[in-house]
Amino acid sequence: MEDVEYAGGIPAILNTLKPLLKDNITVTGKMILELADEGKVTDSDVIHPLAAPIADQGGISILYGNLAPDGAVVKSSAMSPGMRKFSGRARVFDREDDAMKAILAQQIEPGDAIVIRYEGPKGGPGTREMLSPTAALVGLGLRDSVALLTDGRFSGGTRGNCIGHIGPEAYVGGPIALIQEGDTIEYDIDAGTLNMLISEEELEGRRSTWTQPDKKVKRGMLAQYIDSVTTGRKGAIRG
């Protein structure tokens, strides 16, 4: 961010993106194109022109499939090149804390696909951030051999093969709630896909026996939040 600031900052980025912007008022009281006109790039090695981007694709990828009908988000720029396509054995945890215990006890092996569910907007409640598991995997040298999937979220500093915001979330019966230990999970970043390799008949059978768990919070504002919050796809705001 310091490099960006010295290269002209956000106004310079706006100036670069000006052909793609739609004019709107901003909190400054100025129109966004007016702010873009005020910007100037002073270091094109930091803020590249549109005609010469750093990469062909942005740093974020959206995946869809039978595991994520409403989509999932991955910071693909932070993934290992060899992990952009992956197939692994599901290790399933209904709480972040349980996953952490397994990771720290060295019960996770290369090729595993860790699934942490019931941590979404309703299930968390509040879409918990999976910072501890990701940091532990990096510390144990598993960053380049293990995938982590969740209906929770990740921060901008996340490194590794971490797919979050899987929707619909487990608490409302999304497919992530139906994964069983040992299932094969497969993703392909370049193809934009995220799937569990089971038949639709098997998936429907599991769905018919699934029951929604009790709320983690039963009184107060958080209980009301669970009842009213929208999906991550819609911003996880109170509807």
Report the distance separating Cα 176 and Cα 140, nearest Å.
26
Residue 132 catalytic?
no
Query: What are the DSSP calls for 158-194, one per residue?
Result: --SEEEEEEES-GGGT-GGGG--TT-EEEEETTTTEE
Nearest CA-CA partner of 127 in 156, 155, 99: 155
> What residue ranges in the chain does DSSP mark as E strands?
61-65, 68-74, 85-93, 112-116, 147-150, 161-167, 184-188, 193-196
- Burial (Cβ within 10 Å: 0-12, 13-18, ≥19) of residue 2: exposed
Catalytic residue among 155, 199, 208, 228: 155
Residues that are catalytic: 155
